[in-house]
Amino acid sequence: MGLREQAGRVLAAGRRLAEAHVVLAKAELGAIVTDATGVAARAAVAVAALLYVAILLSIATPLFLGEWIFGSLGWGILHAVLLSIALAVALVLDALRVSRRYLGGTFLLAAALGVVVAIVLGFAWPNAAWAAVGDAALPGVDPGVRPLLVGIAGGALALALLGLVVGARLGGGAVGGLAGGALLGVLVGAGSAISFDLRVGVAVGIAVGLAAWPILAALALRGYDWEALKERFIPRASIDAALQTKAFVETRLRRGKEDEA
């Protein structure tokens, strides 16, 4: 056997060995890819299941608490919606760099308002007051209707006068304030004339507190500096540096032309 033939056989054997390694690598990689695909699919299903659990809990928990604590699923839905809105407003205001101390203060103020409403309505104090006035002013009217009539009349009168004053001071129109206050007073008076039990009063107080917080917090936007917000997203330092560099280069070029002249 010649040297050339031996070299050819060695090369052929090396080629077959390399091809065998390639085939082995392809088979191994195929098995790995198949295994990895299975793992990824199972992981995706597991993540989807956890997301489903999170969504289910976020929906079911307020419903359960509303039914368990306040006797109605509606309270759970209402509180969850108001809480979500309040958190969304708070996050937006925090992103706008409204003072966190201010946000905390408005939260405490709204919570205090909710506690007051819960106590007042939970013990049915407005209903008792309207009933007492009705007994004195409307003795001939059905006792079951007296608190409602007096509550509507008293609420409309009180908030109409308040709307008149506020409308006149804010320049929005005394007549509009009077009419708006009277309409709001009718609703507030009718609601306050209801004889709530303690559980419903607490539910109403929570709803009032959750609704009041984003409204009070959003008052910070009345004097908000929107120009400062725009400046936060302009790379002012880079622009200034680029302008300075441009001015420097232009100056150097001008001097060079003057020296050549």
| pLDDT confidence bin for 112, thresholds 50/70/90 | very high
| pLDDT confidence bin for 137, thresholds 50/70/90 | confident
* pLDDT given for residue 257 in this prediction: 62
| pLDDT confidence bin for 261, thresholds 50/70/90 | low
- pLDDT digit string, tens, across residues 115-127: 999 999 899 898 8
| pLDDT confidence bin for 232, thresholds 50/70/90 | confident
Domain ranges of the chain: 1-66, 67-248
User: Is residue 2 predicted with pLDDT exceeding 70?
Assistant: no
- pLDDT digit string, tens, across residues 67-111: 888 888 889 999 999 999 999 999 999 988 899 999 999 999 999
* pLDDT given for residue 1 in this prediction: 52
Angle (CA) 66-72-73 rounded to 5° is 65
